[in-house]
Each structure stands twice: as structure tokens, then as C-alpha cells.
Structure 1
Amino acid sequence: MAMKPTIDLTTAVVVSAESASGAEAKAVQVLIEEIAKRTDVTLRHTYDKRDTQNAGADECPSPSAHLTPHIIVGTWASLAGLANLGNLTSFASETITATEALPALVGSLQPEGYVLQAVSTAGLATVFIIGADARGVLYGVGKFLRKALLKQQSIRFDEAYKEASSPRYPIRGHQLGYRPKTNAYDAWTVEQYEQYIRELALFGANSIEIMPPRTDDDAIGPLMKVDPSEMMIQLSAIIDSYGMHVWIWYPNMADDYADPQVRQLELAEREEIFSKLSRIDAVMIPGSDPGGMHPDPLFEWSEEMSQLLRRYHPAASIWLSPQVMKYEPRPWLEAFYKQVEREPEWLGGVVFGPHVDESLPDYRARIPQKYQIRRYEDITHNFHCQYPVVDWDLSLALTAGRESYNPRPLAQKHIHNVFAPYADGNISYSEGINDDVNKFIWSDQDWNSDTPVIETLRDFARLFIGCDYAETVAQGLMALEANWVGPLIVNDHVEVTLQQWTQLEEDAPPQVLNNYRFQMGLLRAYYDAYVKRRLIYETELEYKAKDALRGARSSGSLAALERVGQLLQLSVTEPVAQDYKQRCSDLADDLFANIGSQLTVERHFAISVGRGAFMDTIDVPLNNANWLYTQCRLIKELADEEARLAQIRQLLNRTNPGPGGYYDNLGSSSSANRVDPGRGWEVDPGYLYSPRTAPSIYLLEMKKEKQDALGGIPLAWVNHINTLTDTPIHVTYDHLDPHSSYTVKVVYVGDTVDAELSRDYWASMMANDRYLLQDEVRIKQGMATTHESPIPQEAHADGKLKLTFQRTRGFKRLNIAEIWILRQHSIQA
């Protein structure tokens, strides 16, 4: 494809109004500084055209001065009074025409919009960046930087570029919490924070949410360069300097807000913060996670907090999020709606995010129209989250975990757009830098949800890595998302993706190789390929181990059991693809040095493995080694050879339902056709009304005594089908024999262990919506629970069987790992 003609702006002069101040002046500063970082060219800046050729104040500019390229930046209101603005276009009638059209373009803008137009005639090159307001100037500058071709000592721009653009949604931003739980932010300096805030603004963000020092986390971490209170003060000032909104995520951490002394202490803490911050626009209070007040006292307390907030920031408001974990979700949510329907004056708006157990369209229908809805979408986690990776391969879940580098451009755009009409924008939930790409996708979609993600990724790569990499890195990020689609062992994209990234690695100059965004993509390419290579190898080792067990009668049980251990240990003694692993480790160290990305607990000070330290899980077994080790150890303890052989036979037949029976591992794609998909991911990406696959990695962390009692933890228990709140799971079977009797055996999985909040739940199972087979089965948190029940023969008289599983009470998840339909015997007519 032919390159578009460009204009050379390397010697351009930036012209703005001398009256520009605040965010408008900041935008001009950003333009000059960001160009200089990428080109080593510091453009001259003037407030008057006559200054561009060092002319005296009373001199007329020479004709050659008019050939100097110009970038005219500012709001239309401020530029209207700029001296000699007309002289900038006096040599070219086409330029004059273009300039005369600017008022109409500017007049079409909404708040925060901009006009970006390049004009080149008769050797005169001019770029206009005109904002509807101060923030619009910043966003126009951002679009210019995203589209410009910036190289060493070279600044070029599309000579025919013309765009008038306004944001579609008024709330656009991201949460950047300074606390140890995040996987990078707590290691940042004030300067790194400002740069990241600036970069988000270049893609249209107008809000940044910060946190108080006291949350559900330690206040001080080992990597912090600044005291949390001081960082909060500085961040407020930085965000304000860009004209952006300052939000605070402020959970209620006390146990009893009915206690007057507790209330007084909580208000005193907030007053100290509110009084010291230069700007606060809104405070968001989550209903829980953390916290746990019933809506009635929550609204009463929030009103009192609003009065205090407005004492220091009169225009600021309180927003509430009905996240609920402690209570039964539906009664709690109904109580929340009842409070909102009273339309309290102090309530600025409401929030939709994780643990809001209602679809956004239904939520919007219940909220009075006077209140805006801000989305608080989880773009940072891969599973056990609001929007999990669809049917994510268990091997990736075991290794990459919840907070690995996770560019998901297509998925994030879909999640954004399917619910976008029901809210007023989004300030995303983030726990660090791992979701970096997703942030820019959301900002661009909040600006214009028609924008193709590949355009955003090209802008992202062009601006942050280099204009020569706009296409290759953009496509590379798309390829990383494709790596996570479908079963990993048969995903041929993974090797191709690595080849593409390693070719970039071989050809890239040092400044690209040391670019943290390039390093994140490169690490993921190596990581995915390493995990796949291990999966193939370890799957074969498991088959060989089972082959050894099948020969136990001839070799002797003890020899066979010993051989199993030797075979499985090969993954440690003779590992594969160690060059891939070493490259991942080196990149992890580089990323820690560059941006404090915490990919290990020991070397990089991550708070835990689940908080971004996915290098610590790179070698987690990808086969049933742990289960087989446990089984073999227990079998070896048996004194009798025949008893050992019998147990080995039982081990090999663990999933065997017997002749005429059925077995399903519901977390496997092979059993997906049995499970009713509900509304499905396309319309229900949060799986509020649809089953989803969900890994229970915490089962693998169970203490040895408990694992022994269960005979070990097979991987079939680790990946299961999961539904939320009151959504049932329907599993169907065909071709049963009407003349046979059957038994159903089910493995339920408890939820994550929580020391403070009981996550036990109770469940029931119905056959064909008529026969109650299991009732009030208690599933303890962190455990696998097996229940077996006979199936009434009349339930499958037509050869069909539908099993319906339903959470009846307790914690709001239902998890099922395995089902056996066991044929007992034939009953003759």
C-alpha cells in the first residue's frame, strides 16, 4: 500500500495564545516534551507569529518566514486573539479556505472535543490543534502524537489529515492505586506516575481514581519511594494539572460504624485527606470487597461523609457501588435500590462493577434517570473475576494466573460495547501494569466505540514503541490474544506468535529492546510457547506413567509405582525448552528494573503469587503428577500385593463410568456440549446468567493431610463449571436405557478459602425438573465434596435426562467439576 504524503514539521514552530493557562498550557507543554523524547528535537514555542524568525517586535516578517511550518495549538477562544494569526495563512488561498472552515468544525464539537487538521499549500505547512475547551486541546495533542511519524531528528504528519472529534461518554478513566497489592504501581516514583497519567490522557482519559493510605492492604510496601499520604497529595495535584477529574476509591474499613467513637475516628481520617488534597471531584464507596454494611446504614454514613467532603470540595460528590459479598445478594440489592429510589440530593451517581449481581441493562432500569452510572469494570484479571478469559485453557490458568500480562483487545472491545449504552462511561478497576493494553482499548472505546481495536493498537505501538513498529507490534498484540483461544495443546498460533515476536527481537534497536511495553509482549510470547511445550511433554509423561501402572501385575506393584515416580520426575530432571524459560526470567528482571513490575515474590517483592507473580508459577505441573504422587504414596503403604494391585486398577479407572455409563469433566471442552450455555458470553460476558469454566487453583494448595484424605487432587477438580448467585447449571444426557437403573455421582467444588467470610454454600440437584435427587448438600470452602444418588427410573423413561443444579443458600457461587452416570443393572419388563 502506498504511503500517504506527509508534511515535514521538524523545524516547525508551536504557536499558542499567551493567555493560555492551566490545562491548556499543559497541553502545549506535553506536545513539545513528548515530541522531544522521541525525536531529540525541541520545537520552538511562541505566542506570536512575528517571533518565529527572531523578528523584532515592530518588524514585519519576511516572506521566507511564512514558509516555516507551524503547529497552532489552543482553544478557539484563546486563539481568536492571537496576534497575526491571519499572516499564517496569507500566502495560500487554499490554506485561507481551510482556516475559514475551522469555525464551523469547532462549532460542531461537544465538550472535550477537538479539531485536528493539517494544511499544506505552496510550501506552507500548518497543523491546527483546536480544542472545544482546555481538555479538548490535550486530547487533540494526544491524537496528533498518536498519528505523527516521530523518528530521530524527524517529525512528519499526514498532509491531508482532518478530524473533528468529541467523546461519546463523559466518564473515561482508570484506577491507579498506590498500595502493595498492585503488581507495579507501588514501585513507581512520582515522575513515573505522572508519565503514565499523561499517556492515558493522550488516549482520551479524563479521570484518574486514587486510593487512601488505609485500604484492605498494608499501607507501606518495600518498594515504595514516597509515603502513601504524600503520594496521594501529589497525585491529586498532578491529575488536576492536566485538567482531569480526581476520584478516590474509599472503602469502609471499620467493623462497626454504629459505634460513635469509630465513626468519629473514621471521619477524622477522611477530613485529614479531604483537607490536604488540592482537587477531589468524586469519592466512590464500594458496598463491599472490602466493607460490608447493609444499605440502610451505608446510605446514612455516606450522607455524613458527603457533608464533610463538600466542606473542602464544594462540587465533589459521593458515588456508591452495590458490590455485595457478605450478604445474600438479592435482598441486599433490593435494599440498595430502595435507598436510591428516594433520590438523595447528596448522591452523585452509582457504580456498576465486580460483585454487582445484576446485568447492567437491568441495573439501569432500576436506577432513577437523574443519576449517572459509572462502570467500574475489571480489566485486570483473567479468572475469578468479573470478565474471565473465555474457556481459558487450564494449563495457562495454572501458570499465567490471575494477573499476567493480558492484552485482550477484541474481548475488551466486545465487553465495552455490549453494555456501553446503559452507562455514562468507565473508570476501570486495575491492580497494576499487567492490563496496560486493555486500559488504552477502554479509553479509546469510551471516546468512540466504533474505533477498530487494530487502530488503537497501531496508535499504541506508534506512540509508545516507535512509528516503524506500528503494524508489527499491533499485530503481535492481537496474536497474543489468539494464543489464549481454545485448547492450548492444539493451538498452532502459539509457535507462529513467538516466531513473529522473536524476529522483532532480533531486528530491534536497543531503545526498543529496553522498552517495557515491548518487553511485556515479548515475555508473553516466550511464556505461552514454553507452557505449550511443557504441556505436550508432561501430557506424554503422564501417559507413560499410566502405562507403567498397567504393567504392574507383571512387573510387580512396587516396581511399577517406583517407575511412575521416575517418569513424572523427568519434567524436573530433564526439562524442555529451558532457553524459553531463561528468556522469560531475563525479561522479568528487565521489567522490574524498568517499571517495578513484580513477577516473582522473592526477587521482585510481589505481595503474593496471585498478584502478578506469574514467573513463580511458570513450572507448575501441567499433568496429574501431584494426584499420581499422592495415590502412589498411599498405595505403597498397603502391605498386601493384591490390595496394591486392586488400588492401582482403581486409580487407572477413576473416570471410568463402566459399560453403558457416562463420565464428564465439566471443565473440559469435550463436555461443553452437555452444559446449557444460558445466555452465552456474547450477550452475558460477565456470566451472570450463564455457566463458565473456572479454575480452583487453591485446591492445589490444600494441606497434605486433606489431600491424602481425598486421595489427592486430580486436575479435573481444578477446572470446573461455575455459575453465580441463583443461576442454575443444566446438564443433559441422551440415549439412556429406559430399562436400566442408574446412579449419579457428582463432585462439587467449594469456593476460595476466606478466613473472614464463610464461603460455604448449599446446593440441590433435580432430574428433569421433577425429581429431587440431592437437597441441601453442603459444600465447604476450599474442599471437593462428592455426592452419589440413585436416579428414579421414571426420570429417564424416554432415554433423556436433564440434571439441574442450583445453589440454595450460602456463598454466591456454584461449582461442579465431574459427573458420572453409572449404570447399575438392567430391569426386565
Structure 2
Amino acid sequence: MQRYQPISKRIFLIAFLFLCAFQNILAREYKNIQVVMGAMASPVEKKIAALLAARLTETGYAHVSLSTETALSQDTPSALLIYLGMAAHHNGIRNLMKIKRIPELTTLDPGQEGFLVKSVSEGTRAILLAIGKDDRGCLYAVGEILRKAVFKDNSLQIPDDLNVRSAPAFEIRGTQFGQSHIAKNLAKVRPWTDEETQRVILDYALAGANIFSTPPGKMFDFIKSFGLMTLGEFNPNEAPEVTDPAWAATESIGRPGYVCLSVPEAREHILKKCEKRFSKEPAYDFIQFKGGDGGGCECDLCKPYGLKFITLSEQLAGIIHKYHPGTRLYFTNQKFNNEDDNAIFAYLREKPRNWLWAWGYGPGSDATSWQPGHRQNHRMDLFQYPGFGPYGLYPLEIIRQMPPQHKLLYFNEITHWKYAQHAYIQMYPRADKNGDLPPPWSHEIYERRPDQALTMVYNRLTFYAWPRYYHRVFNDLMRYGAGDVTHSSGHHDHFNQWMWQRLLWSPRQTVEAVMHDYCTTWFGPAAAPEMGKAIFQLEENLEEKKEIPISKKEGINRYYTLVKSAGLKIPASQMKKDWLWRMYMQKGALDLYTKLNVRQQLSAQSKIEETIRKSAVAGLSVKKIDEMLSLINMDAESQEMVKLRLEATKLSDESNANFGERNDGIYNLKHDFIGLGWVRRQLERARLAKAEERKQLLNMIVSYEDPGEGGYYDNLGTANDAPHVESGYPYDHGQPYVAQMLSESNRPSQRSMHFTQDEDQGVTLRYTELDTTAAYKIRFTLVRPWYQERYAERMNQKSESIYANDVLIAENVELPLQMSDFFTFDIPSEAVKSGEVVIRFERNANVAHGSRISREQWRNSGGWGTMVSEAWLLKVKK
């Protein structure tokens, strides 16, 4: 299966450089600027005008004043006048539109929320028209000015031929905002001030956003004051305040805080809760009835849960519309299964449901991709023709099934770089409860994996950018929807969110055009080319490439050099407070530190292996082994590593001081990336062993995968070479990848494994063409993961039995917790007399044999029935 490939990088580079080279060829510089409001400017227009004046003033490159057209100074003919507002409220704009024969702004030209930004002249005066179709159009005109302006020396540069008439392509364009818990707890950032939070909101609004998810309060009022929209949410079965166990939902992974909608008292409680809340709160423009992050109920009385959910949502809508009749409502089907969705489709087609505006599509909503969160079944019938690929199949089906009055609104997750809706899956998808796995042609999205060293350093909510892949995801998905209010868990996804808003405005932009826009806006035209190349490179660096491990990734060094060089081209006055460049530079220093750390560990391992090879292995002394042990020092740092760590620390302190931002990796650099802990354990065992046993222990260090003549080795796990596996699939741990689940002292091959769940057929390996006259042994690497407390109580699996052609060779073998070990068993001679042997694992009799609900909760939270990391079939010399 050919994986998704972007257009030639060379074409990207040529186009990107072309855009950079030709920006502002014809431009005039202004040292004095007057922002001129209309005589009848609305309160929103006045705030927007003040915003433009403030953003221009803070650069320090020009003198900026704010006035109304009735108080316009006549003494500054060399000043640039920016006429800002709606034509109906601004006499100067109306007159110039008439004189210059400029067509009025309409709902189709340029469109709702549209604007015109145009350079004109009146006698000797230079005027920049910034005309909004409506209030928000004025705000977006300001965004266009700030993107096109170049700040140079003591002046502002504006293209002489600036003429942009534009409107958004999508009706709904929004996101969430704020600092993540990871930033606050792991990266130890200072809290944002109210002014900084407001700045973030406006940054996204200036890029094109028109709606923000927020509770009532100061930020709610601030958002509304700029004519923007607000989004609230209500989960129809979330009730952490309820303590009565008779009301409790059987949630998909057993979490508390949810109620069963089949319990009349619980349902009534939710209705009263809704009434109490929305009778007091201000009116939202939109409210999302959230399907929940696993918040449904799995009990038999609630089946299909989707029907319980949607009928209660209708009652809730009646309550909300009683107080706020203009609020538009939608729901999300997160983690609903096929039966739930089908019940909602039938409900919508039964009769007009005028209370509902849209079907919301978020993490876990997709019935044609196996994403973290484990939707329990999938629409396999939709895979017969790929169309635009797996991401686009189910949105198209939703549109086909729904009555035409309802829209599709996205809640796309572009905030995590691993273990998320459109992120690196990190481990291969497990079979759903029907035993279904994705067809081979869609494996591309599961074969994308995060660099295994970088994933140890950085949290899911770390600073990153994904221009090419997210551009592909946007184009696969958004053609079917009315817009998107993206899921953002912090500010680490700055580029992704900014790009999303620009694409919602103009979806046919190329990825290099968006990158050019981003880099010139945030770093200036001189630094933009190198920053653009660096961010494209960053995306490549994040991905695991089997043929190019991190120790050989020249892209790590290239990124570091590009960002460093770009920083020299950012004006000094801007650089003083440029938190964003510092975040990109921190990433470069920390990635390069990690690369050097991996190299250092590989060097230590190589020296140990060389010592073993050069010595008479059986005769290696205890002293020699102690010398090898001394080479293993996880805290060792080269001078270059120290320099990089100090650089990243300085940058992180500055970005935190400037804007409450810091890369979490600065506090998480020390790791065993390659399994030196296993080498240490092997050496310590050899130190205590005698003669032949010592030889075997040391020989395994230098020839780990070698099964010997006539033998076979299988490395089970994602993207590994395991040709003899015929049943099972790579283990995905069932939850966000938690560092404590497996010891870092395991070799990388020991950390990944194949497993089965509640299937009767356990992990199975088949060996053929064996020597029927020889004896064989089978050796396994076995280990089991640790579970977080909320999952551990239902994880009773600790052991498994092993069969060779239905002959029991090991019964109830207990897998070691977190740190792997080897287990070797003789294969009975009768099992290989046909020249073929099937090795089969069988789950313990008390594992996955309970009620349907308990089994589903066990599966959904990462339960395993059989599990194995590595296998060696060893031919024994007679």
C-alpha cells in the first residue's frame, strides 16, 4: 500500500520562496498613521478600530493615532489614513466608494463576514480602505492589514496595490483556548493574565475565527464585545454530583461521574440540572450536547444508547430554547457505535426535528477509522470504494443519511501529536468487538508512528506543528461540513490552529501559501523563508523512520540551524518579546539534545559489544564486566549536550516570562532510549554466572536476534518483522501511552508486543519446513504492563498457557510486571515430526469470561488475554 505522500518537496520550496520573494515589491513606507472610524461607528467597530491602533502602536515602528472622521486632522498629509468600518456607518468610505466606483459589499460579493482592504488615494493623501460587510468583516479586515503590513526601521510598509476582497468559505470557524494542564503542571508555566488570554482569542479571530468555546464570565463578555460568537456545552448524562449507585451509568471504561438515562430519576435530575443552569446563564450562540469522551452507558436498558441520548437532548433543547430561543444546538456522537448512530438517523428521519441545527463530528465519531478511544464497531460496508480515503467516508455517509435541513459540524482534534483522532496512532489498531480491522488500503494512517525517542521526552500536549498532514486531513474532511470548532487543549498547537482558521477562510490554499502567511505574520518577511522550511522539517523529524533512526536524522540538525538563522533576521525590537520563535528554538535544542543522548547511549552499547567480541567470552573477568558496567551512565552529558540544555533552559525561561509558554521536554530529558538497562541487567547476571552460563548471557548482548542455524526470530509489535505470526495484533495499551506502563530498561523490541483480547484464539505463530530429525526449543520475551488505578481493578490477567500443536508446553506462565524476561521451553519431538509446528497462547480461564458489560469495559480499557513480545525458535544440536 503506497502511503500518503505530499507533493514534491522541491516544488514546495520553489513555490514558498516565490511567495516570499515577491511580497511587497511595490510598497510605501509610512511613519504616521491615522486609524479613522466612521461618524456612526457601532460599539463593535470602535473596539476593532482601537484594536488596530493598539496592534500598530505596539510595534513601535510608527506613530499611530485613532480618530473619527469628524475629528480627522488635516495637518498630516504624509500620513496613511486607514478608513475602517462598515460603509453605512462611515461617510468617508461611502464617498470614496462612489468616487472610485467600488462596488458595495454584498452577501455574495464578497460574502457574509467579508471585507475589502484596498489602497486608494485622494489628492495627495494615501488612504487604506478597510471596509467590513458587517461587524466581524471589519475585524477580519484588520487581520488582513496586519498580515500584509511590514514593519521596517521606524515605519510601516503597506503595498501600494493592496486590493483584497474576501469572505470566509465556512460559516463556523472556531476553537477552544487556554493553557493546558500539561503546560501548568509539567512545563511549570506562569498563568496567563486576562490580557494575554484576550490576545490569544483575538489572534485566532484576526486569522478568521468567529466562535470560541467558553463558559460565562469575563472572557465570554470579551468575545461578545467584538461581535464574535460563543459556544457552550452540556453532556446529557454527566453528573459527578450524583452519589446514588443505582443511578450510575456503566460507562465504556468504567469511569464514575455519569448516570444511566434509563433510570427515570437520573433522567429527571439531568433535566432539572439543565433548567437550573440555563435559566441563569447568558445566551450562547451555539450549545453542543456532548456525546462524551466515553461518557455513554453500556447497560442493556440503554441500548441503543444513541436513541436515549438524542431523545433526552430534544427535551434539553426545549428547556434551553425556553430561555434562549436563538441558540443553535448540535450534538456529537463521540464513541457511539453503529447501532447508536443508526438509531439517531432513524430518529431524525421520523419527522422534522427543528430544535437541532447540526450533527457534530469529533474524536471517536468516525466509523471508518480505528482511532484511540476505541469505537466498538465500524461501518465495514463503506470500505468497498475508497473515495477520498478513510477520513472522508463516514462524513459523506452522515450527510447521506440525515435530512437536508441538518448540517455537519466538526469538532476536529488537532491538539495532540500522538494517540489522538488525527495524530500518530502510536500502536497498530486492535480488532473491534466484531473482530474487524481496517482494510489494507487504509493502513497508511496507522503506519505513521512517532519517533520512539521523541515520544519518551514529550507529552501528548507538547509544542509541535503538522502542516502537510493536517492540510491533507482538512481537505479530506471539510468538504462535507459547515465548519469546525476545533478541539484544542492548550496553546502548544499554535500553528495547527492558526492554519485551520486560515483554511476555513480559504480552503483551496496550498500548504506552502498558508505557511508563507503564518511565517510572515509571526516572524516577518526576512525570517519567513527559513522558518517555513524549518516547520516543514519539524513535521518530518517527528515521524519514526525505520531506515533513518533519530541518531541519523540530519533533519534534526537542519531544523535547529534554520530556526537559529531565522532568529537573526527578526528585528531586535520584535525579538525581545517573541515568545513563539523561542518555542520553535527550544524544540530544536531539545530535539538535538535527545539525538545526541541517543547517540551517546548507542556508543556505550557499541563499546560494550566490542569488548565482548574481542574477548575470550567465557573467560571475561569480573573486573572486565565491571568496566563495561561503568560505561552505562544515564546522567552523562557531553559538552554539546550541556550547551544545548542550557540554551533550551534560557529560552524556556524567556518564553515563560514573555507569554507563559515553555516546552515540557525541558524537565523530561533523562531516559533509557535504547534499553541499556537490559544490558546492565545482563552484565550483572553474567558477573554472578559461571563459565558456559556467563558465555550465553554475554553472547546474547552481541547477537540478540540471532536464533542460530536453522532457527527463527520474530519481533512482535507494530511495524516489526514477525513473519511467523498468524493470529494477534500489536498491543496498543488501551489508553494514552503512560511512561510507567513498561520499564524503559526493556530493549525497544521488548517494549512492543502482539496480543489478543477475549478471542478464543490467542497469539499464534506457525513454523514450517522444520527438520523432522532435530530437536527444538522455543524462547519468548514476556512482559505485562502496569495499569493506572482507574483501570487496574478489572485487570486480572497475569498469566497465560502455551501450546505446541495442541500439546501443553507451559501452563499459567506468569508474565513479569513492567520489566521483561526470557522463558524457554522444549518442544515435544512429536510436535515437529510433520515438519510444521504451531505455537499457540491461551488466556487464563478466569480472564474475559464475565458479563457482556464487564468484558466490554475490560476490552475498552486495554484488557489482554494473551501477550508476547519476541519469539526465538531454536534448533538444538544433538
Aligning the two structures, in what range does the TM-score lie when normalised by the shorter sequence? Answer: 0.7 to 0.9
The verdict on how the C-alpha distance between 1:749 and 1:236 changes in structure 2, with shifts beyond 3 A counting, is farther
SS in 2 for 1:172: strand
Is 1:5 equivalent to 2:26 in the alignment?
Answer: yes
Instruction: Give the letter aligned to residue 200 of structure 2.
Output: Y
The answer to whether structure 1 residue 541 and structure 2 residue 552 are counterparts is no
Q: Find the residue that maps to 1:529 and give its secondary structure.
A: helix
Letter of the 1:382 partner, please give it. W
Match of 2:580 in 1: 517
1:346 aligned partner, one-letter code = W
Letter in 2 for 1:615: I
Q: Does 1:351 align with 2:360?
A: yes
Is 1:302 matched up with 2:313? yes
Do structure 1's residue 282 and structure 2's residue 321 form an aligned pair? no
Are the structure 2 counterparts of residues 621 and 823 from structure 1 closer, same or farther at C-alpha, using a change threshold of 3 Å? closer
The equivalent residue for 2:707 is 657
Q: Which residue of 1 aligns with 2:859?
A: 811
Deviates more, 1:124-133 or 1:274-283: 274-283
Q: Is the 8 A contact 1:697 1:718 kept in 2?
A: no
Distance 1:521 1:117, change over 3 A: same
Matched, 1:713 2:746: yes
In structure 2, do the counterparts of structure 1 residues 729 and 314 end up closer, same or farther at CA, with 3 Å as the change threshold?
Answer: farther
SS in structure 2 of the partner of residue 188 of structure 1: coil
Q: 1:702 and 1:106 mapped to 2: Cα distance?
A: 56
Q: Residue 379 of structure 1 is aligned with which of 395, 414, 432?
A: 414
The 2-side partners of 1:621 and 1:40 are apart by: 49
Q: 1:320 aligns with which of 316, 331, 337?
A: 331
Deviation at 1:237, TM superposition (A): 0.7
Q: 1:236-272 CA distances to partner (integer Å, 9 max, x unpaired)?
A: 1111112222112444243353567766776666556
**Post-superposition offset of 1:193:** 0.9
Structure 2 CA distance for partners of 1:737 and 1:415, relative to 1, 3 Å: same
Distance 2:556 2:567 in 1: 16
SS for the counterpart of 1:43 is strand
2:714 and 2:723 in contact (8 A); partners too: no
For residues 481-514 of structure 1, the C-alpha deviation after alignment (integer angstroms, 9 at most, x for no partner) is 2333433222212222222222344565264143
Q: What CA distance in whole angstroms lies between the structure 2 residues aligned with 1:440 and 1:700?
A: 31
Which residues in structure 2 correspond to 1:81-480 (within 5 Å)?
82=91, 85-86=94-95, 88=96, 96=99, 99-103=100-104, 108-120=109-121, 123-151=124-152, 153-177=154-178, 180=181, 183=184, 187-210=191-214, 232-251=216-235, 252-254=238-240, 255-258=257-260, 274=278, 277-289=281-293, 291-293=295-297, 295=305, 296-324=307-335, 329-331=337-339, 333-334=341-342, 337=345, 342=350, 344-359=353-368, 360=391, 361-366=393-398, 367-369=401-403, 370-389=405-424, 390-480=448-538
Report deviation, 1:440.
0.5
Q: Which residue number corresponds to residue 247 of structure 2? A: none
Aligned partner of 1:755 among 786, 789, 803: 789
> Which of the numbers 740, 745, 749 marks the counterpart of 1:701?
740
Map of 1:61 onto structure 2? none
Letter in 1 for 2:588: A
Task: Report the Cα distance in structure 2 between the residues aligned to 1:805 and 1:448, rounded to whole angstroms.
Answer: 55
Name the amino acid aligned to 1:431.
S
Cα 1:104–1:650 change in 2 (3 A) is closer
Moved more, 519-528 or 106-115: 106-115
Query: 1:53-110: CA deviations, max 9, x gaps?
Result: 359xxxxxxxx96x7643222234434xx16843x589xxxxx4xx313327875222
Check the 8 A contact 1:394/1:719 in 2, yes or no. no
Task: Return the match for 1:532 from 595, 606, 616.
Answer: 595
The CA distance in 2 between the partners of 1:791 and 1:76, in whole Å, is 90
Q: Which amino acid aligns with 2:593?
A: Y
User: Which amino acid letter does the alignment assign opposite residue 543 of structure 1?
Assistant: S
Q: TM-score, normalised by structure 2?
A: 0.72
Q: Could you tell me how far apart the structure 2 residues matched to 1:315 and 1:804 are?
A: 60
Select 2:563's aligned residue among 498, 501, 526: 501
Q: Which amino acid aligns with 2:631?
A: L
The unaligned stretches of length 5 or more in structure 2 are 1-20, 241-256, 299-304, 369-390, 425-447, 801-808, 849-854
* Aligned residues of 1:747 and 1:786 also touching (Cα < 8 A): yes
One-letter code of the match for 2:198? E
* Deviation (angstroms), 1:519: 0.5
Letter in 1 for 2:555: H
Note the C-alpha offset of 1:532.
Answer: 1.3
Letter of the 2:358 partner, please give it: G
User: Which amino acid letter does the alignment assign opposite residue 352 of structure 1?
Assistant: Y
Alignment of 1:52 onto 2:72: yes
1:577 equivalent in alignment to 2:641: yes
Query: Do residues 615 (structure 1) and 666 (structure 2) align?
Result: yes
Sort the Cα spacing of 1:633 and 1:424 in 2 relative to 1 into closer, same or farther, 3 A. farther
Aligned residue for 2:126, secondary structure, equals strand
Q: CA deviation at 1:523?
A: 0.6
Distance in 2, Cα, partners of 1:693 & 1:235:
39
The whole-number CA distance in structure 2 between the counterparts of 1:586 and 1:420 is 41
Query: Aligned residues, how many?
Result: 747
Relative to structure 1, the CA distance from residue 446 to residue 506 in structure 2 (aligned partners, 3 Å threshold; closer, same or farther) is closer
Alignment partners' CA distance in 1, 2:842 and 2:287: 40
Partner AA of 1:362 in structure 2: Y
- % same residue: 20
Residue 364 of structure 2: SS of its match in structure 1? coil
Deviations 1:136-166 (A, max 9, x none): 2211221111111134541221111222222
Instruction: Report how far residue 204 of structure 1 moved.
Output: 0.5
SS at match of 1:417: helix
Task: Quote the offset at 1:234 in angstroms.
Answer: 0.9
The answer as to whether partners of 2:718 and 2:730 remain within 8 angstroms in 1 is no
Equivalent residue of 2:413, what SS?
coil
The runs of 5 or more residues in structure 1 that have no matched partner are 56-63, 91-95, 212-231, 600-612, 677-689, 765-772
- Specify whether residues 155 and 364 from structure 1 end up closer, same or farther in structure 2 by C-alpha distance, changes over 3 A only: same
Asked if 1:567 is matched to 2:631, the reply is: yes
> Is residue 2:682 matched to residue 1:647?
no
Q: Alpha carbons of 1:597 and 1:723: their partners in 2 closer, same or farther (altered >3 Å)?
A: farther
CA distance in 1, matches of 2:624, 2:267: 66
Q: Deviations over 1:12-69 (max 9, x none)?
A: 4333323232433332222222111123545344443x643359xxxxxxxx96x764
CA deviations over 1:521-574 (Å, ceiling 9, x no partner): 111111121111122221121122234455473554643542332111175276
> Does structure 2 retain, via aligned residues, the 8 Å contact 1:403–1:614?
no
| Separation of aligned partners in 2, 1:68 and 1:721 | 70
